[in-house]
Amino acid sequence: MASSSSSSSTQVKKITLKAADGKHFEVEEPVAMEMETVKSFFVGNEDAMKDMVVPLLNVSSEHMPAILDFYRNHSEFRKRTPPPPAEEVKAFNEAFLENKSDEQLMEMIMAANFLNTKELLNFLTEAAANRIKNKSVEYVRAFFGIENDFTPEEEARIRAENEWAFDGLDED
C-alpha cells in the first residue's frame, strides 16, 4: 500500500502488527503505542522498531480494524481543542457497538485485555455490563456462554436465598 516515495520527515512512522491468523496491519506509530502490550515490546529495544513485525497472537484479524478505529478516533478526541462535544463521542461509541454480537463483544474484551489498553477495556466492559443489566440468570448464562452446572435442587435453593432479587427483571 505504501508508495515508494522518499520518506519525508512529516511522514508518520508505521509499525506492522500481525494478528493471530497471520494477517498484517500497518499502523501509525502513535496509534500502535496506545497498546501497552505493543509499547512494552519495544521498551529497551528501540532498534526493533525498524522493520519489526509485532505478533499479537491473541487478537484475531476480524477485530483488528475495529480496534484500531477506536484508538484512532479516541486519541483524536483526546487531542482536540476544544474537546469534542459529548454527543459526538457518544455517537461514535454507539456506532462502534451497534452491530457487534455478544460473542464479538466478549472476544474484543479479551483482545483489549491482552493489548492492555485501559480505555478500550473500560469501554467494552461497560458495554457488556449494560447488556446484562437487570436481566435474568438464564440470559446472563447465554450471554457469557456458561453451562448451568447446578442440579435443579441446588439452583432452587440458591435462588430462594435471595428470592426478591429475581422479581421485576427486564424481558430477555
Interface pick for another protein out of 11, 77, 166, 172 (rule CB under 8 A): 166
Point out which span in 3-11, 26-34, 70-78, 124-132 binds another protein (CB under 8 A).
124-132
Binding to another protein (CB under 8 A) within 70-89 occurs at 86
Alpha-carbon distance of 41 to 121, in angstroms, equals 20
Point out which span in 4-12, 21-29, 69-77, 140-148 binds another protein (CB under 8 A).
140-148
Is 92 among the residues that bind another protein (CB under 8 A)?
A: no
Is 162 among the residues that bind another protein (CB under 8 A)?
A: yes
Minimum CB–partner distance for residue 130 and another protein (Å): 7
Site string for another protein, 3-42 (x = CB under 8 A): ----------------------------------x--xx-
Burial class of residue 73 in the structure, from the number of CB atoms within 10 Å of its CB (0-12 exposed, 13-18 middle, 19+ buried): middle
- Could you list the beta-strand ranges (E) of the chain: 14-18, 24-28, 53-55
Burial class of residue 135 in the structure, from the number of CB atoms within 10 Å of its CB (0-12 exposed, 13-18 middle, 19+ buried): middle
Extract the C-alpha cell encoding 170: 427486564
